[in-house]
Homo-oligomer: A and B are copies of this chain.
Amino acid sequence: MQVDNRTRNNREIERKFLVKQLPEKLKRRRHYPIAQGYLATEPGGRHVRLRKKGKTASLAFKVGRGAHREEREVRLSPRQFAALWPGTAGRRLRKVRYEIPWKNLMIEIDVYRGKHSGVVVAEVEFPDLATCREFKPPRWFGREVTGQKRYSNVRLANE
């Protein structure tokens, strides 16, 4: 997932895996800290997330879980972020994200910090369903956990 200057209103097609072994020279890859927290989360998975990725703040609304989900994301000013962030107290997580180009795709590795230290997952976003189905995971990927609540950010943040 990329946060940029445009607002995003698309459906995501993505898969998530545990990571057996971190790729070599990971620290040389592009990476940045992410802090995120949840303002509200419905039992069905619909939620509103605040995120600071490097210096970029955003608010995202998501519906659904698994390989398909709808997402709407907007950039927030530092002031907007500062006003809303306290509302996520007790529902936050921190991680470092590494970007690993892989064939024509981008693998994002999330190394969790704080109370979730030790959890490492990889996410891959696909341009279409065919690419999603045909994807062959690299050898260093572990078990697939797409759509598993156990490894959803919402769930981890609320633990």
Residues of A within 8 A of B (CB): 7-9, 39-43, 46-48, 59, 61, 63, 70, 72-76, 79-80, 82-84, 86-87
Contact = CB atoms under 8 A, between A and B. Distances in A.
A74 B84 CA distance: 8
A40 B41 contact: yes
Chain A binding surface SS class: strand
Nearest to A8: B83
A9 B79 contact: no
Nearest to A80: B74
Given A72-B83, A83-B72, A40 B43 contact: no
Nearest to A46: B40
A138 to B, nearest CB: 34
B43 A39 contact: no
A99 to B, nearest CB: 24
Counted per complex, copies of this chain come to 2
A80 B75 CA distance: 8
Closest 4 CB pairs of A and B: A7-B83, A40-B40, A61-B87, A48-B48
Given A8-B83, A70-B87, 15 more contacts: A7-B79, A7-B82, A39-B46, A39-B61, A40-B40, A40-B46, A40-B47, A42-B42, A59-B59, A59-B84, A61-B84, A61-B87, A73-B83, A75-B80, A76-B80
A9 B84 CA distance: 9
